[in-house]
Structure formats: structure tokens, C-alpha cells
Chains A and B, each alone.
Chain A
Amino acid sequence: MSDAERLVVALGPLGLDDGGEVLLSWRLRTVAAGAQVEVISGRPELAQQGRPWCRALGHGFVEARAHGFVLCKGPAHAARWLGAERAGAVDAHAQGAVVAHPPAHWALAPRGALVEAGTQPLHFALSDRELVWSDDAATLYAQGAAAQWDPATAIPWHERPALAPEIEDAVVQVMTFLIENETAALLVPARFVAQLHPHFREVMQLLALQVADEARHIEVFTRRAALVRGSLGTTSAGGQASLRTLVEEPDFAIAALLLAVLGEGSFLSLLWFLDEHGPDPITRTVARLAARDEARHVAFGLAHLQRHLQHDPALLPRLAAAIHRRHDALAHSAGLNADVFDALVVLAAGSLDPDAIARGHAAVVALAADMDRGRQRRLARLGFGADEAAALSALHTRNFM
């Protein structure tokens, strides 16, 4: 090959130890294996660097020259990418972008990346598109990301409440209950996100955002609970037993039903209730902001269950059975912590005056009815008939979540 036919790569002042190797590798991509390339630079030791560099990368070292060296491009780079495969496509709307069963050897590859053959498989238990995917995930994630609020500034912490002792007690008790429930609501998506194939990027992001949402809720509920008293209320064995069945649920679809559709759905009613009856601006604000996030969690739970049910109608009776199973498991537990029920009544009453308590009691009964209606509505959206939805809703834990 004559000098005139060779590509010449000029590295300027660089050697192969301070960035010139990057430039050279880049330029070598443009020539075929077997092509000769002359490399020149202002570094006198370039040829001394070129020989071991070529050897390490599988290029032939042809000869040293006054200002560099000549190499013959080896086949290793092309060989490495032989058999590589594209892991779907980055845009979820593109044809074939989100595959039904992403293989384990795509491992942590971003969706749409070119994956080298021979990548060690990484096994994710949740790798079935019909089980986990929702076309709404990207939109819900974007909404969620845009709706993030800063606990330091979004809450009027400066409006320190000065409530009657029994009202402050009630706030502390309800906040304690909320923290406990949100802890369960954090752990459930956290467990599943670790089992989810990263190919389902938008779902992974959405679940991660849910975890972050719950972390923020736990922060603001804790801060409000401890704001005046510096200590928290009670947590009951029955309430914990109810939450335990959520945290221990291994099935993604059933967990979505129990947590998102039924639990967080009921919680929405509770948070709206607190927004209405909260005795101070801080309590009302934390409830309102949390409700906004929870509505998104419920929407995702509903969306991917609806998709799952379209592909697998047999899931519906499994979901019903799961509600029965959880009811049976909790049949011998006390359900809602009595302190929580009392606190809600006092909050809605605004005082311990008997007439007020009567109004508060009626408000909590109405809250339970509102929760029931919400559950029935969401169960119907999943495909349950009205009667079955009513029956299943009635089996929901008395602990709300």
C-alpha cells in the first residue's frame, strides 16, 4: 500500500497516554479491518507507544516512522460487536420498542441500546410485559416528576398550631397512623422495583417516584406529628397485621390491587377528609399534597391492572380470591386501631362537646361510606359486576390501607 492510499491520523501534540488514543480509536472506526493507517504526532516517543498499544488492541504494528508509526487495523473491534442486538427501542411508541419478554442477558442495558453478545444474564422476576406494563406509565411519571413538592417550602411550617390539647392529641394519633401506612406503601413498590426488568424503564421510574413520594409523605407526617408534642401516638397490633399482609404479598398484580386500588384508593378519601377537617393549615396542607400524589399511584395501579386483565381475563377471579384470602387472614385481628377512629371523630368534631362529637361521628361514618363507594367504583373499572364489587369492597380491611 502506498503512502498516498493510507489514512493519516494526526494527533497534534498528543501521545497515546494523554488522549491521543481516544482520537486514534475514533478515527479507526472509519476504516475497515486490514487497512493501513499512519499515525503522526509531535510526541517523539509515539512509535514506542504505538507498538504496545497495537498489541493490546489486536492491531498490527507495521513499522515505526520518524513522526509516528504505521498500523494495520485488526478485526477485534468489529468482532466484539458481531452478534450484538438492539434492546428494543428508546421510544415506547415505536413498533417493537417494548418487547413482551426482555431476555435476562439484556440485563441493565437501557432500552434501545446495542447490547454486546455474551453479557452475563441478570434475572428479574418481573419481566413479562403484560404483567407490568402500562401505556400510561410515561405520562404518569412525567406528571409525578413535575408535581414534586419541596417539604421545606410547600408546607406553612411557620404557622405553628396552638390547638386544644385533645385536638392536638387527635392530630398526633392520625399522623402516627399515616406514617405507619405510608411506610408499607413505600416498601411495596420498593420491593417490586428491584424485581422489575429495567427494559420497562417508565414503569421502573414511576415505581421509584412512588417510593420517593412516600418518603416525602413520611417526612411531613412525622414532622407534623412531632411539631408540638415531640412524641408520637399509638400503633396497634391489628393495624400492623393488616399492613403486614400488604408488605408480604409476593404477586405484583395482587399487590397492585390491594395497595393501589383498594388501600391507597381508600386513603384518598381519608386524606381529603383531613384536608376538610384538619384543624390547622399544616395538617390540611400535608393531607392535600399527599392526596395529589396518591391519586397518581391509584391511577397507575388501575391502568396496568386493566391492561393485564385485557390479556389475561383469568386474573379477575384471582384478584377476587386474593381479597377473600386477605379478609380471612385478618378476620381475627382487631382492624383499625380504636385510637385512630376516636381521633378522626374528634378531628371532625373540633371539640369534645357531645353535639360536636355526634357530628364528628357522623362524618367518620360518611368517610367509611365514601371509601366504600370509591372502592366499588374502581373494582367496577377492573371488570367486576356491581354486586361483586360491593361484596368485595365490604371485605376490605377495616384498617383502611
Chain B
Amino acid sequence: MSQSRKTLLLGAVAYDPKVVTIWEGFRDFFAAHELDFDVVLFTNYERQVLAHLDGAVDVAWNSPLAWLQFEAAAARRGRAAAAIAMRDSDRDLSSYIVVREGGGVGSLAELRGKTIAVGASDSPQATMIPLQLLREQGLQPGRDVEVRRFDVLVGKHGDHIGGERDAARALMAGEVAAACMIDGNHLLFAREGVLPAGSTKVLAQTPPYDHCNFSVFAELQDDPRLRRFVELLLGMSYADAAVRPLMDLEGLKQWLPGRISGYAQLERACAATSALAPLLALAEGLP
């Protein structure tokens, strides 16, 4: 954390226009509680991680992949990273590999030689973690199973769900044998009519994993401004009409303490695909 800077700066990725509403609203909330706080918006997570490493922001609202990127790059500099808070809805998510009901695919093994649709290439939930599940079940993506990517807004780490929706549409159009999506979107797409109720079944699901977190350099966790930031987050109540609309927009009912026990599957996926290498190479170039 920059000691010369009075304002606590948070980095967030603008994957949707609502991000501006959310963080301007939270900024007002922090200001009302006398925390000098501001937000820097980035167009992609890689830019945000690099800026964070460079000290341009003090805390970053990171996707799970951005968390691993930050953690790995910080480690190379001999620094530890910490996750200080997350949403209740960031815990224990699961990704589904979905097939058409009656489509003739009854097990993962039967996907061999077929095509599976995934979301954006950097989406942990719609691409990286489910493909890792296939690998761990003996199916090598690209060799045993053809992968069709729906790359919508790369750099947003799948926060924009357009890629997942396109993958689901391809499944229903019969263009692919299976599609990957996060569990909540399986429900959402059913409600939207993209996946009519009863038309699909879950062929496989990943073990639970965690999603976003507020990441910081570990040695700065005890900075009074960061402590206050976490204290205010954890104290935020869904009963408070001033913040409830923001919590609705951000998709949570309660902020919880950060934890890093839910990223092992993604870590293995990154290791299998060298997914962290490009960011680490860029980070090497930083002063």
C-alpha cells in the first residue's frame, strides 16, 4: 500500500456498465463511514493485476484467475498475497457439464470424439475448471474431445456471461454434444428459455470451488485503512436500504471473510495449461 497516498484505492474490472453504479454507490457508503476510498476501473483483469503489483491500487476485486495471477506474480517478488473478503455467493460454486436430455450422451467417457462448448478462454467457471475435470477424468481437451470456444470479452475472466449463453445455445442447436456453465447459469438459462426446463441434464459437476475475492499484499493486511475497509464490508447489512440495491447488483446478501481454500481446481487447470505464464512474463517487465 502506498504510504504516501491517503485514499484507499480499489481496482475493479468494468465487465458491465453496472460496475460503475456498484462502486460509486459503495464509495458513497464508505465516505459516509469516513473511509477515504476511491475506485479505479480497468478494462481487463491482467491490466488490474499489473497495476496492483505496481502499487497503483491497494486492493483489487479479483476474479479467481486474477487472484492466482496476482498471488503467483507477488510470490516471484518474494511477497505473499492475501484474500481479505468475498461475497457469500463466491463460496462453494460448481460448474456443470450439461448435455441434451435424450441426446445419447450418458457419461463423460461418451464425450470422447465429440465436441464440447465452453465459454471465454479465460473463464474459470465456464472453461478452465470444467476442462480440468475432463483432464482428470482421462479426457484430454483438444485431443480426446474437441473444444469449441465462445470467446466473448476475453480479459473479463468470464464475468460477462455471454460466452456461456452462446455455448448453451449451441448445445440446444445440436451443434455440440455438451456445454459447460456455472451452476447458477444453468438455472438462469432455463428461466430465460435458452435451456427449456427438462431439456437438459447435468452429465458431470465439479467439486465446489470459490470465486472472487478482495486481494491484497499480505504484509499490508493490518494497515488501518484496509482493516476499516474489511470491517465496513463485513458490517454491511442487507437490511440497509442504502446498500441493498448495490448488494443486489453485485449479487450477494452478505460479505464474508476471504478464504483461499477454494482455488485448488483452478490452480491445477492453470498448471496444466500454463495459463499464468503470459501474465507472469508481463509482470517480469515491470520495474
- Pairing of A with B: yes
What residues of chain A have their CB less than 8 Å away from a CB belonging to chain B? 15-18, 43-45, 48-49, 51-53, 55-58, 61, 74-76, 79-80, 82-83, 116-118
Q: Is B190 a contact partner of A52 (Cβ separation < 8 A)? A: no
* Given A17-B197, A55-B88, A58-B253, A116-B202 contact (CB < 8 Å): no
* Given A74-B253, A117-B241, A49-B198 contact (CB < 8 Å): no
> Quick one: which of A44, A56, A116 has the most chain B CB within 10 A?
A56
Q: A52-B187, A58-B253, A117-B241 are in contact. List 19 more A-B contacts (CB 8 A).
A: A17-B187, A17-B197, A18-B197, A45-B201, A48-B96, A48-B205, A51-B92, A51-B183, A61-B92, A74-B253, A76-B253, A79-B237, A79-B238, A79-B244, A80-B238, A80-B239, A83-B239, A116-B241, A118-B242
Task: Give min CB distance, B218 to chain A, whole Å.
Answer: 28
List which B77-99 residues lie within 8 A (CB) of chain A.
88-89, 91-94, 96
Number of interface residues of B (CB under 8 A): 30
> Quick one: which of A55, A58, A118 has the most chain B CB within 10 A?
A55
Cross-chain contact of A75 among B92, B184, B238, B241 (Cβ < 8 A)? B238
Cross-chain contact of A83 among B182, B241, B251 (Cβ < 8 A)? B241
B245 interface hit (Cβ, 8 Å): yes
B76 interface hit (Cβ, 8 Å): no
Nearest chain-A residue to B248 (Cβ)?
A80
A79 to B248, CA, bound (A): 13
Cross-chain contact of B254 among A17, A58, A117 (Cβ < 8 A)? A58
Cross-chain contact of A15 among B94, B198, B239, B251 (Cβ < 8 A)? B198
The 23 sampled A-B contact pairs (Cβ below 8 Å) are A15-B190, A15-B198, A17-B187, A17-B191, A17-B195, A18-B190, A44-B201, A45-B201, A49-B187, A51-B92, A52-B184, A52-B186, A52-B187, A55-B88, A55-B93, A55-B184, A75-B238, A76-B238, A76-B253, A79-B237, A82-B239, A118-B241, A118-B245
Nearest chain-B residue to A119 (Cβ)?
B241
Task: Give min CB distance, A47 to chain B, whole Å.
Answer: 10
Nearest chain-B residue to A20 (Cβ)?
B197
Which chain B residues lie closer than 8 Å to A44 at the CB level? 201
Which chain B residues lie closer than 8 Å to A61 at the CB level? 92
